[in-house]
Structure 1
Amino acid sequence: MLLIATVLTAVVIAIHVYIVLIETVLFRTRGRKVFGIKEDRVDALAPLMSNQGCYNGFLVAALAVGLLHRNPAIGRAFVVFGLVCVVVAGAWGAATVSRRFLVVQSVPATLALVGWLTA
């Protein structure tokens, strides 16, 4: 179960690296299309999206530290914390923006979290 949890956590990391990229460096091109932003709103929203991308980067960092930490107990704490944050962020996004957040963020993070908590 620990291997599956680790793989699922790596998937969550990959998803969030992509999210960081489309919210920051790729927002004016790919990000605009992914989020369905009209071109005339891009300049106004770019700073906000970049800030949001920064927060998603922190989630990536917490999960990566957790997977790479030498001390298994500390690593597990980082991973569990990071996954709980992703689940909550996905649920909040689903409630306030689009239900798609549940599928993209919360479901993979929940599966990984269940793996870690049952391993």
Structure 2
Amino acid sequence: MAMIAMILVGLVALEHLYILVLEMFLWTTPRAMKSFGMTKENAQITKSLAANQGLYNGFLAAGLVWGLVHPDASVGRSIEIFFLVCVLVAAVFGGATAKKSILLVQGLPALVALVFVFLT
């Protein structure tokens, strides 16, 4: 059970690293514009805002990795719980204010990981 929890937390961290790359470095590419439903003009206008969002997604990923590698397993678990809850809150907010799909794409994996972390 603990290994499944670690894998799930790692997958959520990887997802947020991917979002970091999309938002910070690829925002004006066809892939990112399609993912976020942006036109070329809007992507150019919002490029610095997206980079800021990407940085925050990187912080979420870093926190999850920190929890995974912390030498004290109980402290690491608490760190993982904190950052998974942060991801959930961000997903609920994003789902309510931007795109409903954020609830499934970001919220569901974080929720599943959180359940497995609690079960270990």
C-alpha deviation, 1:45, in angstroms:
0.4
Provide the alpha-carbon RMSD of the alignment.
0.9
Q: Map 1:32-111; keep pairs closer than 5 Å.
A: 32-111=33-112
How far, CA to CA, are the matches of 2:74 and 2:40 in structure 1? 47
Q: Map 1:2-21; keep pairs closer than 5 Å.
A: 2-21=2-21
Kindly report structure 1 stretches of 4+ aligned residues shifted beyond 2 Å.
none
Q: Deviations over 1:16-40 (max 9, x none)?
A: 1110000010111032221111111
How far, CA to CA, are the matches of 2:43 and 2:7 in structure 1? 35
How far, CA to CA, are the matches of 1:40 and 1:95 in structure 2? 25
> Among the aligned pairs, what percent are the same residue?
41
C-alpha deviation, 1:78, in angstroms:
1.1
Q: Secondary structure at the match of 1:28?
A: coil
Query: Which 5+ residue runs of structure 1 have no aligned equivalent?
Result: none
Q: TM-score, normalised by structure 1?
A: 0.96
Range 83-92 or range 30-39, more displaced: 30-39
Query: Which 5+ residue runs of structure 2 have no aligned equivalent?
Result: none
> What is the total number of aligned residue pairs between the two structures?
119
